Structure 1
Amino acid sequence: MRIRVLGCSGGIGGSLRTTALLVDDDVLIDAGTGVGDLPLEGLAKIDHIFVSHSHLDHVTSIPFLVDTVCWMRRTPIVVYAIAETLDILRSHLFNWKLWPDFTQIPDAEKPFMIYREIKVGETVEIDGRRITAIPANHTVPAVGYMLDSGKASLVYSGDTTVNDGLWKAVNEAKNLKYLVIETAFSNKEQDVATASKHLCPMTLASELAKMHGHPEVFITHLKPGEGALTMREIGVAAGRWRPRMLETGQEFSL
């Protein structure tokens, strides 16, 4: 299993792209602005999209992706998410007002896109790759994902604040190699982080203390303009785990 970071920023500007991870050539974990950097032939290979939650920075490329490649495909793109997230996408995105409903185009019998509901704790296996929805704690219903090749695994927290369910999943993973966890705000924005249900360096350190193993830790969702400050604060608060900043273009092998 190869995982390439297409985007990992908490915003846009210059080379910054919002969250999207490409698994091999055919699976997306979230679909932020980084998806748009793929060539057309790369976009056409994407068969599955696992959505952590409904916020725009994680779903913004789904409408453009489906609209761009639908005529190139013989099978629908499958969008996986928990029921609450799918309801939001149906009501507020693919609703014929903001964007066409591609689950009804060209018709309901042979659509360009279909939804698949998953539940927290459920594992979807695709060609031997296991993708499991794990708990997240955010301002909207949300999950993270564990990606498991059978040899090693990676946990992606999604957007979350203090979250004991995440650590239960992390600590039960016997082959965990990488942890990708958000820290959106610096310590001076702790009140904003708390209100918006994100982590800051102080809360990240408290959360990492719940982890039993020693995977490599990478920080995602840093806000533009505050990445250097936030990483310095993480180095002080969570230096024991030696977290590193996730970067667009970075690749992992499981």
Structure 2
Amino acid sequence: MKTLEVHCLGTAGYHPNESRHTSCYFLPHCGVVLDAGTGIFRLPQLIQTDHLDILLSHAHLDHVMGLTFLLDILYQRPVKEVRVWGQAEKLAAVQEHLFHEAIFPVAIPVSWHSIDQQPEWDLNGTKMSWRHQDHPGGSVGYRLEIARPGSTVSDPLAQVVYATDTLGAEDDQTLEWMSGADLLMHECNFDDQNQMWAEKTGHCYLQKVLQIAAHTQPQRLLLTHINPIAELNVKDQTASLPFPIEIATDGLQVAF
């Protein structure tokens, strides 16, 4: 069986800088896009499928503004179908405000799909489930179960958990749902010195993320939604954890 890859197209939180665009991650094998920040402009050359499923964690601008780039993206690399998934309230806000005629007066060729009524879906062969997260305005985390290239029906599915814009799970049910992933992609918007600001703004700091990872025991931890002005130091704090830890950067490809 071959490995799968996550491509980090945008890894910043809230605002970009010279080296980081805002949140967007792509799994080419299954055509799944995690959030649609400004980093989505890097998508066309990576598309391998005839469809795209864009999963929105919430509707804050750093996670949705890249939807307006889809006209050029799909001109460069046409696909048969693009589906945008999220909570109904968040999808309505994006359609009403981001695509208001006074802001962006052109329809984009996508269909909009609410996740509210079901805990899990099939995304063209990829299983998707979600959980509520604690964040101003609300957000959701996603768990994906993906068949590896060359696998058979009896082979285990690859497990990816994407948890961004969250204070961090503390309840046993959510931590159990997150556990045992091949790859845990977890936001780390603040360093430990700024724990107070993390809690005020509904985000995580490094020690909180490491505590969650220690509880959920992923095969690999990728820190995402990085504040460009934060200084994260994982070398001195991760020696006791039995899995590799990496800080996401734009252009990084993570195999799992």
TM-score of the two chains, using structure 2 as the length reference: 0.79
Letter of the aligned partner of 1:98 in structure 2? I
Aligned mate of 1:215, from 219, 223, 228: 219
1:135 alignment counterpart? 132
- Selected match of 1:6 from 4, 9, 25: 9
Q: State percent identity of aligned pairs.
A: 23
Q: How far is the alpha carbon of 1:87 from its aligned partner? A: 2.1
SS at 2:165's partner residue?
A: coil
CA change 1:74–1:129 in 2 (3 A) is closer
Within a 5 Å distance, the mapping from 1:100-119 to structure 2 comes to: 100=105, 102=107, 112-119=109-116
Distance 1:93 1:220 in 2: 24
Q: Distance in 1 between matches of 2:43 and 2:121?
A: 25
Any unmatched runs of 5+ in structure 2? 148-156
Report the residue type matching 1:58 in the other structure: H
How far did residue 4 of structure 1 move?
A: 1.5
- Partner of 1:108 in structure 2? none
Q: Determine the structure 2 residue equivalent to 1:179.
A: 184
* CA distance in structure 2 between the aligned counterparts of 1:185 and 1:159, rounded to whole angstroms: 11
Equivalent residue for 2:170?
Answer: 164
Q: Which amino acid aligns with 2:246?
A: R
Can you give the 5+ residue segments of structure 1 that lack an aligned partner in the other structure? 104-111
CA contact (8 A) 1:12 1:18 kept: yes
- CA offsets per residue over residues 157-200 of structure 1, 9 Å max, x none? 021003235x6345346752111111101222222211110011
Aligned counterpart in structure 1 of residue 88 of structure 2, from 79, 83, 93: 83
Residue deviations 1:132-180 (CA, integer Å, cap 9, x gap): 2223211122111112114221111021003235x63453467521111
Give per-residue Cα distances to partners, 1:110-143, cap 9 Å, x unaligned: xx22210003862222332112222321112211
Q: Contact between 1:51 and 1:81, CA under 8 Å: does it hold in 2?
A: yes
Secondary structure at the residue paired with 2:129? Answer: strand
Displacement of 1:216: 1.2
For normalisation by structure 1, the TM-score amounts to 0.80
Q: Is the 8 A contact 2:144 2:161 kept in 1?
A: yes
Amino acid of the structure 2 residue aligned with 1:21? Y
CA distance in 1, matches of 2:138, 2:197: 19
- Runs of 4+ displaced beyond 3 Å: 38-46, 70-76, 167-170, 172-175, 205-209
The Cα RMSD (Å) is 3.0
Whether contact under 8 Å (1:181, 1:217) holds in the other structure is: yes
On the 8 A contact 1:54/1:88 being kept in 2, the answer is yes
Q: Does 1:69 align with 2:74?
A: yes
May I ask how many residue pairs the two structures share in their alignment?
240
Residues 1:24 and 2:28 aligned together: yes
Given the alignment, which residue of 194, 197, 222 partners 1:192? 197
> Quick one: distance in 1 between partners of 2:105 and 2:128?
28
1:99 maps to 104
Q: Do the aligned residues in 2 keep the contact of 1:187 with 1:202 (CA within 8 Å)?
A: yes
